[in-house]
Structure formats: structure tokens, C-alpha cells
């Protein structure tokens, strides 16, 4: 498979995944995300080319902000999952600050200098007015 064929196959797979996922309700999307070993979509490994985060961005409501924040703030999650979830979070929350988003996504400022990502995540928590849970309640239990 040459580069052009690969690109075409990637775009076709992405489009098909998006068209299938867009039919789901917000709650159904979060149920898909909840199942970490979901073989059909495998969203935690990007097998759907990260389309679920685009769909959350389109169909998501304020109910998605907290679970998105929980994914973004967990630095143990795969980088690309966090990256795409962060993009959806900023759009749903109406935060239009590329510098701030870059600090959360990359841990770097616009000059490519390292920043304390944990501190930036805490700033985001404050902006979103999400209280820090001391109780270990899973984010998906809000559904």
C-alpha cells in the first residue's frame, strides 16, 4: 500500500467511524468510552481514528465537561486520547485560548518551553469550576 492508498483508507475509515458514532446519543457515546476493552471501537487506542471525540464535540452538552476533564487530567491516559478529549473539552466549555490549551495538551507554552502540566490542569479545574473529589467515585457514575 502506497502513501496515497494509506491516506485514502485512513480517511474512509475515519469517515465511516464518524458516521456510525454520530448516530449515538451522548449517553451511548460515554458508554462506549467507559468500556476500555471495547473491541468494536477501541477508543482508548484510537482504533476509530479518534472520531468519538469529534462526535462528543458535536453532540456533547455540559454533562460531558466533567468526564472530559477527568480524562484530560489523568496523565496516565494515552497522549492522543487526552489530546483529542482536551480539544472537545475546550470547545464544549467555550474556552478559546490556544496558549492555555497547549499547556494542558503538551505541557509546553507557545514558545515550546516546558510548563508544570499539573498546575495548568488545576487552573483548568478552577476555570471549569469542578470541585476536587476526595471521594473515589468514578466519573462514569454520573450517567
Choice between 143 and 126, residue whose per-residue pLDDT is larger: 126
Closest CA to 105 of 93, 115, 60: 115
Give the model's pLDDT for residue 138. Answer: 61
Placement of cell 469550576 in the chain: 129
What is the mean predicted confidence (pLDDT) over 60-66?
96
Contacts of 58 (CB under 8 A, 6+ apart): 22
The contacts of residue 124 (CB under 8 Å, 6+ apart) are 69, 72, 73, 100, 104
Confidence label for 52 from pLDDT (cuts 50, 70 and 90): very high
Which of these ranges, 41-45, 83-87, 116-120, has the smallest mean pLDDT? 41-45
Which pLDDT value is given to residue 41?
82
Contact 51, 18 (CB under 8 A): yes
pLDDT at 46: 83
Amino acid at each position: 500500500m502506497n502513501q496515497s492508498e494509506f491516506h485514502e483508507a485512513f480517511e474512509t475509515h475515519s469517515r465511516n467511524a464518524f458516521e456510525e458514532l454520530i448516530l449515538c446519543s451522548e449517553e451511548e457515546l460515554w458508554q462506549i468510552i467507559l468500556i476500555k476493552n471495547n473491541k468494536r471501537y477501541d477508543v482508548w487506542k484510537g482504533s476509530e481514528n479518534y472520531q468519538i471525540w469529534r462526535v462528543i464535540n458535536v453532540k456533547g452538552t455540559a454533562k460531558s465537561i466533567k468526564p472530559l476533564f477527568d480524562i484530560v487530567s489523568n496523565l496516565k491516559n494515552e497522549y492522543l486520547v487526552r489530546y483529542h478529549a482536551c480539544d472537545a473539552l475546550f470547545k464544549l466549555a467555550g474556552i478559546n485560548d490556544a496558549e492555555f490549551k497547549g499547556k494542558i495538551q503538551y505541557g509546553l507554552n507557545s514558545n515550546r518551553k516546558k510548563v508544570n502540566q499539573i498546575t495548568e490542569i488545576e487552573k483548568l479545574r478552577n476555570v471549569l469550576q469542578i470541585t476536587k473529589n476526595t471521594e473515589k467515585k468514578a466519573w462514569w457514575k454520573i450517567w
